[in-house]
Structure 1
């Protein structure tokens, strides 16, 4: 059974929740990551514009790219994808059972966002192209 995590961009930011409620509930922290992205968009409009231009900038979660690598593809965290959607001012829309690939408009790197932590957790560090 797939679990689809969705929130409308017009939803109010949640307040008063415990760490457990924010990070360990059924949404696996994706709503909090998306909310952080929304807040960062207001504080860092240049970063939001880069995301709107389909760039995948380096954020706090695995998935961003700073430059092209020898291997033109890598894996990233669904938490990155959630924050990126928030930075873009989009509704949160992530299926916890599916992978989604995006291509960075600046570096042309293909990043596959996956629920499988083992795919990106032990990934070889960035190597100069």
Structure 2
């Protein structure tokens, strides 16, 4: 079974799907996140330009960086990566079995996008905030 989720940029957004089909289908919501990124690029071109410049702005999923932290490395969600690719106007291309590391051009933070949610979700930290 292929672990690559791919969708060309020239393909029109899909019609409205059920919540189950969207988020629990074979792509686990990556295509929808990418479509949302494409939509946001039209509504917020300034965010799209930041993404094109190599920034990793804060979006709706873990992975964006607002400022440089003491620990300059962090993990992010593949859903963030999908939305970021959509904002950049790129084809969706994510290997769901591998991690991908990007550097934020604005903050210098290193973000590794991973399929392992335990690496970026820390319930203890969430409770303390």
TM-score per shorter chain, which class?
over 0.9
Unaligned runs of 5+ in 2: none
Q: Shift of residue 17 of structure 1? A: 1.1
Deviation at 1:67, TM superposition (A): 0.2
Matched residues, number: 125
Which runs of 4 or more aligned residues in structure 1 lie more than 4 Å from their structure 2 counterparts after TM superposition?
A: none
Give the Cα–Cα distance (whole angstroms) in 2 for the partners of residues 122 and 3 of structure 1. Answer: 26
Report the alpha carbon displacement of residue 16 of structure 1 after superposing the two structures with TM: 2.8
> Do 1:2 and 1:96's aligned partners in 2 also have CA atoms closer than 8 Å?
no
2:4 corresponds to? 4
TM-score (ref. length: structure 1): 0.94
TM-score between the two structures when normalised by the length of structure 2:
0.94
1:86-105 equivalent positions in 2, closer than 5 A: 86-105=86-105
What is the distance in 1 between the residues matched to 2:85 and 2:67? 21
Kept in 2: contact 1:33–1:79 (CA 8 A) = yes
**Secondary structure of 1:121 counterpart:** coil
Cα deviation code 1:37-81 (max 9, x no counterpart): 000000000000000000000000000000000000000000000
